[in-house]
């Protein structure tokens, strides 16, 4: 058993047992579901920003498309749970197919600018197309039946959590495979030096496009599950502020790491829940967290731990770990 697999089993086991300890700390199981879904969204950012080095500041577009895909299909086509998730996931993929060709045209901060701007299109459509989407009020619905043949039940919060956990662990497994695959290695190489990768005869545009499609599909899946968790879809899930939250979660946990998004999402979602009950000023804390994170620990929690371990291992060696590259290179 490899160390990575052992870590996965331990974390998976802890997450599976989490509902048992929640009553002790007065947390609802739905909030842990939310943690998992935000971690999924942050992983979609991670693939583009953490691995490939593209500032993906528009991923809320795909997340929100997933939300609306699920909500609209439930409201107008009366589909079951599984179909709603599939429609939402597909909506994310379609969003990636639409925006991809535009985003691909630029790199660096210009990519970020395009991602922010184009991401906002869907927000305005949802906000303005009131007759279909409910506009600013959003749209609520009753959580549909699961929809296996002859089985008719609706998921309660506990069973929803385990569905979300299964999806999350599935995506973690996917990332673990992708990270060590030639495809994943190429993405990391593109982050480090895209020009050199091109000199090797690799069509980097194609790699980035595929990464974008995987990212948008995962974000769509997370968004669809999020709408089904809260039985509600609303325009702010498509907004650039939401994209910023996803980026923060990813940076907070550790860019380019497998478990970073989970760590970041845990702090973000549970921190928001606790602080919001104490004071209405959550947004100030959030903004301060952005600033502190960028100035204080840009490698994120897991990245800083890894760097600390590297330094310990390097004691006596001539060179310190490469300080020029803020993103951790490993994929731990």
Partner 1 sequence: MLEHLGPELFNGLVLGAFYAIVAIGLSLIMNLTGTINMAHGSFMTLAGYLAFAMISRGTSFWFALLVAPLLTVIVGVVVERTLIRPLYKREPFYSLLLTFGLSLVAEEVFHLIWGANGVPLSPPANLSGTVQLGFMSFPAYRLFIAGALVVAIVALALFLTRTRFGLRLRAAVQDTEMIAALGTNTQVLYMVNFGLGIFLAGIAGVLAAGLLGLSPTSGNALLMPAFVTVIIGGMGSLFGSIAGGLLIGFAISLTTLFIPAASEVSMYVLMAIVLMIRPRGLFGEEGIFG
Contact 238, 64 (CB under 8 A): yes
Map the footprint of partner 1 across residues 86-105, applying CB under 8 A.
102, 105
Q: Rule CB under 8 A: is residue 14 a binding residue for partner 1?
A: no
For partner 1, the binding residue among 13, 124, 152, 313 (CB under 8 A) is 124
Give dist(CA 21, CA 35) in Å, integer.
16
Q: Which is nearer to partner 1, 129 or 148 (CB)?
A: 129
For partner 1, the binding residue among 210, 289, 297, 321 (CB under 8 A) is 289
For partner 1, the binding residue among 295, 315, 317, 318 (CB under 8 A) is 295
Q: Rule CB under 8 A: is residue 248 a binding residue for partner 1?
A: yes
What burial class does residue 2 get, using C-beta atoms within 10 Å of its C-beta: 0-12 exposed, 13-18 middle, 19+ buried? exposed
User: Is residue 135 left, alpha or beta, with left meaning phi > 0 and alpha meaning psi from -120 to 50?
Assistant: left
Q: Rule CB under 8 A: is residue 170 a binding residue for partner 1?
A: no
Q: Reduced to 3 states, what is the DSSP secondary structure of residue 232?
A: strand
Q: Which is nearer to partner 1, 107 or 185 (CB)?
A: 107
What burial class does residue 37 get, using C-beta atoms within 10 Å of its C-beta: 0-12 exposed, 13-18 middle, 19+ buried? buried
User: Is residue 78 left, alpha or beta, with left meaning phi > 0 and alpha meaning psi from -120 to 50?
Assistant: left
According to DSSP, residue 142 is labeled P
For partner 1, the binding residue among 14, 288, 313, 314 (CB under 8 A) is 288
* Per-residue binding letters, 298-317, with partner 1 (x by CB under 8 A): x-------------------
For partner 1, the binding residue among 106, 157, 271, 275 (CB under 8 A) is 106
Q: Rule CB under 8 A: is residue 128 a binding residue for partner 1?
A: yes
Structure tokens at 211: 């990464």
Q: Rule CB under 8 A: is residue 283 a binding residue for partner 1?
A: yes
Q: Which is nearer to partner 1, 181 or 283 (CB)?
A: 283
* Per-residue binding letters, 39-78, with partner 1 (x by CB under 8 A): ----------x---x-x-x---------------------
Contact 220, 88 (CB under 8 A): yes
Q: Rule CB under 8 A: is residue 185 a binding residue for partner 1?
A: no
Minimum distance from residue 3 beta carbon to partner 1 (Å): 30
Query: What's the farthest any 2 CA atoms get from each other in the chain?
Result: 68
Instruction: Spell out a b/e string for 289-328, using b for 16 or more CB atoms within 10 Å of the CB, else e.
Output: bbeebeeeeebbbbbeebbeeeeeeeeeeeeeeeeeeebb
Minimum distance from residue 244 beta carbon to partner 1 (Å): 5
Beta bridge partners of 139: 233
For partner 1, the binding residue among 218, 251, 265, 306 (CB under 8 A) is 251
Query: Which residues here bind partner 1, judged by CB under 8 A?
Result: 49, 53, 55, 57, 102, 105-110, 112-114, 116-118, 120-121, 124-125, 127-129, 240-241, 244, 247-248, 251, 281, 283-284, 286-291, 293-295, 298, 326-327
């Amino acid at each position: 058993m490899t160390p990575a697999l052992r870590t996965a089993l331990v974390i998976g086991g802890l997450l599976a047992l989490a509902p048992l300890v929640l009553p002790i700390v007065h947390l609802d199981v739905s909030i842990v579901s939310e943690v998992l879904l935000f971690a999924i969204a942050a992983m979609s950012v991670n693939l583009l920003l953490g691995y490939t080095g593209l500032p993906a500041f528009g991923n809320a577009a795909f997340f929100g498309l997933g939300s609306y895909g699920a909500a609209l299909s439930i409201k107008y086509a009366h589909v079951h749970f599984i179909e709603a998730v599939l429609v939402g996931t597909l909506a994310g993929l379609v969003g990636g197919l639409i925006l991809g060709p535009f985003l691909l045209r630029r790199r660096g901060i210009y990519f970020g600018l395009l991602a922010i701007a184009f991401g906002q299109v869907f927000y305005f459509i949802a906000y303005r197309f009131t007759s279909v989407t409910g506009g600013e009020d959003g749209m609520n619905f009753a959580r549909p039946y699961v929809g296996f043949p002859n089985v008719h039940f609706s998921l309660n919060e506990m069973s929803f959590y385990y569905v979300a956990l299964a999806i999350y662990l599935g995506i973690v497994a996917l990332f673990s495979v992708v990270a060590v695959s030639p495809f994943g290695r190429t993405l990391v190489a593109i982050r480090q030096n895209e020009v050199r990768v091109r000199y090797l005869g690799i069509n980097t545009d194609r790699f980035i496009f595929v990464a974008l499609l995987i990212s948008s599909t995962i974000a769509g899946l997370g968004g669809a599950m999020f709408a089904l968790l809260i039985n509600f879809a609303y325009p702010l899930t498509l907004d650039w502020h939401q994209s910023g939250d996803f980026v923060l979660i990813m940076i907070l946990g550790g860019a380019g790491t497998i478990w970073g998004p989970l760590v970041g999402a845990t702090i973000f979602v549970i921190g928001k829940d606790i602080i919001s009950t104490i004071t209405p000023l959550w947004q100030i804390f959030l903004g301060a967290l952005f600033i502190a994170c960028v100035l204080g620990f840009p490698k994120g929690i897991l990245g800083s731990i890894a760097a600390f371990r590297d330094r310990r291992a390097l004691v006596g060696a001539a060179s310190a770990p490469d300080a020029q590259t803020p993103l951790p290179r490993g994929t731990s």
